[in-house]
Structure 1
Amino acid sequence: MFMLMVSFTIILCAALILVFYITNYISYSDFSEKLTPFECGFDPLSKMRSPFSTRFFLLVVLFLIFDVEIALLFPVLNIFTTEMSFMTTSALIIFLMILLFGMFHEWNEGALDWFSK
């Protein structure tokens, strides 16, 4: 019985590999455009160093920082189902205050304004 299951698995894997190979061959044989390099919408033969908005980069970095901090708040949902102690509540409030202080500081510095005034 075990040998039958192993042989069936091997045959199934070989059939899937064959199907994927044939599908790949058929899809790439018709279009020469699919064989060209893809550079995220940029022409690969154009100027390599194009101007990049520093404000966009700063906004992305701030988004990633606050996104990670929000992800750190997900375990708090689990704490709400159990009994919250004073230590847990105070640690949560301190963490939220640091998060809010950072956001207000970036807002005051003008990092969150997309257009310069």
Structure 2
Amino acid sequence: MISSLLGFAFCVVLCLILLALSMIISKGVLSDREKGSSYECGFEPMGPTRVPFSLRFFLVAVIFLVFDLEVVLLFPCVLLSGNVWLLSLMLWLFLFLIGLGLGYEWSEGSLDWKE
């Protein structure tokens, strides 16, 4: 109990030290406004430098990451040995749940690129 409490206290103190150190170091970096502006061959920017990000693209990227993570979770199950029927049932149930999630996203229209 004492060792876990000491470990937790050490982590908290380390986080506070690193946070304070980053705040001290970053004050000099953020003071120069010209360093944060865009550069176009020595001329002033002719238009807005920030381009709006497509929300559709972001949504498709997040859905891809979620389903990609779920597929990666399937790979270790292939290496397990033991009750093959139970493992097969779990894998099919997992794939069914992934299919349900994909069907829901499709029916909701999140995968449609055109509005």
TM (normalized to structure 2)? 0.54
Determine the structure 2 residue equivalent to 1:57: 58
Q: Which has the larger radius of gyration?
A: 1
Tell me the alpha carbon deviations over residues 45-102 of structure 1, each in whole angstroms, 9 at most, x when there is no partner.
Answer: 45343211000000000110011011111123324xx454332122111111110000
- Helix, strand or coil for the counterpart of 1:113? coil
Q: Pairwise mapping of residues 91-106 of structure 1 onto structure 2 (< 5 A)?
A: 91-106=90-105
**Identity value in percent:** 40
Decide whether the 8 Å contact of 2:77 with 2:87 is kept in 1. no
Determine the structure 2 residue equivalent to 1:44: 38
The CA distance in 1 between the partners of 2:76 and 2:83, in whole Å, is 13
Determine the structure 2 residue equivalent to 1:20: none
The CA distance in 1 between the partners of 2:104 and 2:83, in whole Å, is 30
Root mean square deviation of aligned Cα: 2.3
- Helix, strand or coil for the counterpart of 1:49? coil
The number of aligned residues is 73
| 1:113 Cα offset (Å) | 1.1
Determine the structure 2 residue equivalent to 1:28: none
Determine the structure 2 residue equivalent to 1:12: none
Q: Pairwise mapping of residues 26-41 of structure 1 onto structure 2 (< 5 A)?
A: none
Q: Pairwise mapping of residues 1-20 of structure 1 onto structure 2 (< 5 A)?
A: none
TM (normalized to structure 1)? 0.53
Counterpart AA for 1:50 = V
The CA distance in 2 between the partners of 1:51 and 1:110, in whole Å, is 22
